[in-house]
A and B are shown apart, each in its own frame.
Chain A
Amino acid sequence: MIVKLEEHKNQKEIEVLIKYARMSPLIKKLEKIIKSVDKTIKCTLDNSIVWVNASDIYYIEVVDKRTFVYGEKLVYETNYRLYQLLNELSDFGFVQISKSCILNIHYLDSIKPLINSRLQATLRNGEHIYVTRKYVSEIHKKLQGR
């Protein structure tokens, strides 16, 4: 793969051009990854509106009917419901891991079973979240489809 960067001072918007001989799953994957950088979710932080990039979201959790979006260090809140976010973000590597949580698979480091039969997912920033057994298949399918 050859990656080139060209500076055009008159260019208003970032344009990404992928040249290929034949469409393949890799090309589709590249397209999804690039689009995910641009995909944003409207959130609030300290009463101000913030547009958070999907690629910066680690996981999204619903607590007490409120939806929280977790970045590497900051936690935002959004008015979207979990199922709406899953519909929007499932093509960008997000997968449901429990009834109230969806995870960005790109930030998943490992999953291990605990003594009390629960499953613990470790994220790249060291955070631990719990995975319900019923949703392990979803993670498995998401990684198979990569």
Chain B
Amino acid sequence: MSQENMSPKYIKNYRGDKKMKEKIKNCLASTALSLILLCVLASIYEGRYLCINTVYQVFLANIILHLTLSLLARFESSYFLVEISVEFALFITIALIFAAIFDWYSSTPLWMLLFLCSLVFLIANIIDLYKMSNKLTYINKQLKDLRENQ
């Protein structure tokens, strides 16, 4: 069914569903990234396995993080560094709260937890920057094609 045949209300719900799907995808991606980096760090320290509880805990932490980031989206600063610092502070805060709730400190030193969170944050932002760059290239190409067609 093409969009031209849909009612405006349906299109609004359709776009809302698309946004929700994207949020879920981002949450799953950050969970996967967190778990992979956790496994890499664990193997360096001769860890052999990852508890299933850890997987659920990390997933839950990522859900809460993404929900909080959605609320934070309303916050806008003219300084990019301020925005990124606020996001990073939120990231670390949520990680520390979950570490306290689920007693991650008994198996993971604080410095390692902070290092892991920083790494996840850095990689996630690099991926974001790469996607942004691709979008900008597409946007500028489309705008150039529009100008040439006029």
Contact = CB atoms under 8 A, between A and B. Distances in A.
B13 interface: no
Contacts of A113: 133, 136
Interface string B72-102: 0110101011000000000000000000000
Contact of B132 (A23, A116, A133): A133
B140 A140 contact: no
Interface string A13-25: 0000000000111
Interface in A114-139: 116-119, 130, 132-134, 136-137, 139
A47 interface: no
A140 B138 contact: yes
Interface in B90-146: 132-133, 135-136, 138-140, 142-144, 146
Contacts, number: 49
Interface in B3-60: 4
**Interface residue tally of chain A, by bracket?**
20 to 34
A66 interface: no
Nearest to B22: A137
Interface residues of B, number: 20
A80 B52 CA distance: 53
Given A140-B135, A140-B138, A98 B4 contact: no
B95 to A, nearest CB: 23
A140 B139 contact: yes
B4 A110 contact: no
A136 B136 contact: yes
Interface string A95-122: 0001100000000111111001111000
Contact of A118 (B80, B138, B139): B80
A25 B4 contact: yes
Contacts of A132: 76
8 contacts: A28-B4, A108-B143, A111-B136, A130-B78, A134-B73, A139-B139, A143-B138, A146-B142
